Amino acid sequence: MDEKQSTIVIVSNRLPVKIVRTGKKSELIPGSGGLVTAFAPVLRDRGGIWIGWDGDASGQSHKKLFTKESTAIGYLLRPVSLTPLEVQLYYEDFSNGTLWPLFHDFLDRCQFQPETWDMYCSVNKKFAHAVANNSNPGDLIWVQDYHLMLVGKCCAELGIKRKTVFFLHIPFPPWDLFMRLPWCKEIIDGILHYDLIGFQTERDRWNFIRCVRRLFPGALVSGPQRSQLIEYDGRITRVGAFPISIDFEGFNQHASSQEVADEAWYIHERLPERKLVLGVDRLDYTKGILERLKAFEILLEKYPDIHDKINFIQVVVPSRTNVKEYQEMKCTIDETVGRINGRFTHHDWVPIHYIYRNVSRRELVAYYRTSEIALITPLKDGMNLIAKEYCASSVETDGVLILSEFAGAAQQMGKSSLLVNPFHVEAVADQLHKAYYMDEGERKSRMRKLRAEVRRNNIFRWMEHFLSAAGMPLPKPHSTSTDSSDD
Ligand code: GDG
């Protein structure tokens, strides 16, 4: 390694940037998504290295571009190049076609093919080589998510002695589902090579421990629930739940800014006397977009009293646009929106406003701030940062959060939101009606509690908790968050 010694090396499937080509020139632009939102402020604050795939499926190397530009991003980026076949088998087929549906309880969508598993193992090894080339013995290697569950074991096999820790951003499935995976034992064995494993919720941690007990009866599980130890094959792994969060003050301040206030005013000015219901999701079957549209349709059917007085704004962010299944899902959403609007639109009232594109951070925060109700109903979700961002941006403190009980966020935010089963569309419609008529006192009291929760358990606290469990010195205290409650 030629750069200065680093203390934290983040390893994730994708680097938090996109390569954009304009004519002959290529440049890096910051990407969007859960991981970037979570880590960028922290790495910028204290420095570090981020290793990941550069996102180019052609296998072309972009090392020079990264060397030149990555320092401008605020931390070092080290790209891993993948061949088209690796992208297909490791990323599209095994990570997205097997692990993603399995871990979100969609067994019927899983494909089980030995060649995709073989490629998953071989790409995990490739990432371990990148770790070897870009880290020093004192560093902490922090591996992210389901694409790279074997990197810790691969590092050990390469003889690299580093502290390696792992965080799973998606749910961990119940054992009877997980055991359907032909390579379930290999995966648990791989994960048990990390020194620390972090899950989003206690439920995920518990599911994992049950799998360990079933598959490795000789493993010794001890310690208090919050910080359990698993002793197996001469190694000790710590396991805990670390619910991820957001930069509360960042969203709070942006939502309070003049540019967002202007945009929020503009959105509502064009929809006067209406309450806005907001949904924001990456296009994915786990997010429950169709079920949510159905719930909204039932609301309009069952409660004519709110016709003309409500608008549902659904933002769908394009995702996996080259995959047929996702293209079909988009067509079904387009048709459903068209059908519901065709059924209920009259005069100047079009009930559903459907936005299918990436939105700027300013626009997103303006929608958060100005929407009276957020309808966040994934069928299953590791955490769901949208729910937390909505509360942090609700600076008037009177938004109502309707939240799926199957989002990880429900564990912290369930009490003060309106909790729903997203599969029970009639009940979701009833909760929407309740939210519409909720009085100001109750709205404010609930939102105050939600904001206090997200303000306290923010992304910096998450990082501190995780690093402290990893046995690393804590980063300097971040002063953006105060516990004094103006809300
Ligand atoms: C995983 C887990 C877990 C999205 N579109 C735009 C945009 N975003 C930002 C949002 C938010 C993030 O992306 C999406 O958050 P999610 O929580 O839904 O995350 P996933 O991408 O599904 O990822 C999830 C997360 O990891 C973190 O651990 O919560 O359960 O599946 O931050 O703001 N931002 C902007 N424009 C967009 O169009 N500006």
Give the pLDDT confidence score for residue 484 in this predicted structure.
39
The top-level CATH class assigned to 8-241 is alpha beta
Confidence of residue 48 (pLDDT cuts 50, 70, 90): confident
Closest CA to 369 of 348, 351, 349, 393: 393
* Residue 376 CB less than 6 A away from ligand 1: no
| pTM of the full structure | 0.94
* 8-241 and 248-456 in the same fold: yes
Return the structure tokens found at 454: 């997200």
Span from the CA of 361 to the centroid of ligand 1 (angstroms): 12
Strand partners, 44: none
- Of all protein residues, the one whose alpha carbon is nearest to atom 36 of ligand 1 is 359
3-class secondary structure, 52 = strand
**248-456: CATH superfamily:** Glycogen Phosphorylase B; (3.40.50.2000)
Structure confidence by residue, pLDDT tens digits, 318-359: 998 888 999 999 999 999 999 999 999 998 899 999 999 999
Can you say whether residue 15 is alpha, beta or left, with left for phi > 0 and alpha for psi between -120 and 50 degrees?
beta
> What does R_g of the chain's alpha carbons equal in angstroms?
23
Note whether 341 and 352 are within 8 A (CB). Answer: yes
Question: pLDDT band for position 58 (50/70/90)?
Answer: confident
Amino acid 351: pLDDT: 98
Whether the predicted pLDDT of 482 surpasses 70? no
Rounded to the nearest integer, the mean pLDDT of the chain is 91
Strand-strand pairing, 310-317 and 352-356 = parallel
Q: Pull the structure tokens for residue 340.
A: 């519901």
pLDDT tens-digit readout, 447-477: 999 999 999 999 889 988 998 999 875 445 5
Residue-range domain boundaries for the chain: 8-241, 248-456
Q: Is 429 left (phi over 0), alpha (psi -120 to 50) or beta?
A: alpha
Secondary structure class of 102 (helix, strand, coil):
helix
The per-residue pLDDT for range 396-435, each reduced to its tens digit, is 999 999 999 999 999 999 999 999 999 999 999 999 999 9
pLDDT score for 60: 73
Q: Long-range contact list for 403-406, CB < 8 A, 24+ apart? A: 403/376, 403/377, 404/288, 404/376, 404/377, 404/378, 404/379, 406/378, 406/379, 406/380, 406/381
Q: What is the mean pLDDT of residues 50-71?
A: 76
Q: Which residue minimizes the CA distance to atom 30 of ligand 1?
A: 382
Rounded average pLDDT over 241-266: 95
Alpha carbon distance, N-terminus to C-terminus of the chain: 48
Nearest CA to ligand 1 atom 13: 33
- The overall longest dimension of the chain from CA atoms, in Å, is 72
The answer to whether the CB of 383 is under 6 A from ligand 1 is yes
